[in-house]
């Protein structure tokens, strides 16, 4: 199965909309406000899912390194292309302020995820994203 980065982004975004309640940590659920974007509090799990999806060889996706930025007590996770340095932030839309988002990027550094294998939350996102991709492929062949 070969997918483009664009298709994987779309499928993961659909997954985040449908599964955010299954993967958000209680800490972020308590902080979440009515008007917050559905990706609020999902940056770690979503970045980890995209990282492992890119590692499965199912696409033309670049090899990423995980990055984390800290401002005060707040953290934000994203991926950076190892070759070009381009930022791939699947949850960037959670930020109401581009300035704040960019402050996280500026404060960021390369990091590893907490485990070598996907976390439980990331695995839920990966499994559902692969299902969405499969269903999109099935629909496009009809």
Q: In the sheet where 87-88 sits, what is the strand order? A: 87-88, 74-81, 64-71, 109-110
Say if CB 43 and CB 92 are below 8 A apart.
no
Per this entry, what is the length of the chain?
Answer: 142
CA–chain centroid gap for 99, Å, is 20
Answer for the pair 125, 49: CB distance below 8 angstroms, yes or no. Answer: yes
Running DSSP on this structure, what letter comes out for residue 118?
P
pLDDT given at position 1: 44
- Does pLDDT of 96 surpass 70? yes
pTM for the structure as a whole = 0.88
Residue 15's closest CA among 137, 131, 117, 113?
131
User: What does the pLDDT look like over 35-85, one tens digit per residue?
Assistant: 999 999 999 999 999 999 886 655 556 688 999 999 998 999 999 998 899
Average pLDDT estimate for 2-20:
89
Q: Is the pLDDT of residue 142 over 70?
A: no
């Amino acid at each position: 199965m070969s997918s483009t980065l664009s298709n994987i982004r779309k499928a993961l975004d659909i997954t985040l909309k449908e599964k955010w309640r299954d993967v958000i940590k209680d800490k972020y659920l308590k902080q979440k406000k009515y008007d917050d974007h559905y990706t609020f509090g999902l940056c770690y799990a979503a970045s980890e899912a995209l990282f492992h999806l890119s590692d499965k060889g199912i696409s033309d996706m670049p090899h990423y390194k995980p990055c984390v930025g800290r401002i005060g007590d707040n953290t934000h996770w994203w991926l950076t292309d190892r070759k070009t340095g381009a930022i791939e932030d699947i949850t960037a839309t959670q930020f109401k302020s581009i300035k704040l988002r960019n402050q996280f990027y500026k404060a960021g550094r390369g990091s590893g995820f907490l485990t070598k294998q996907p976390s439980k939350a990331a695995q839920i996102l990966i499994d559902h994203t692969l299902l969405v991709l499969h269903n999109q492929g099935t629909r496009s062949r009809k």
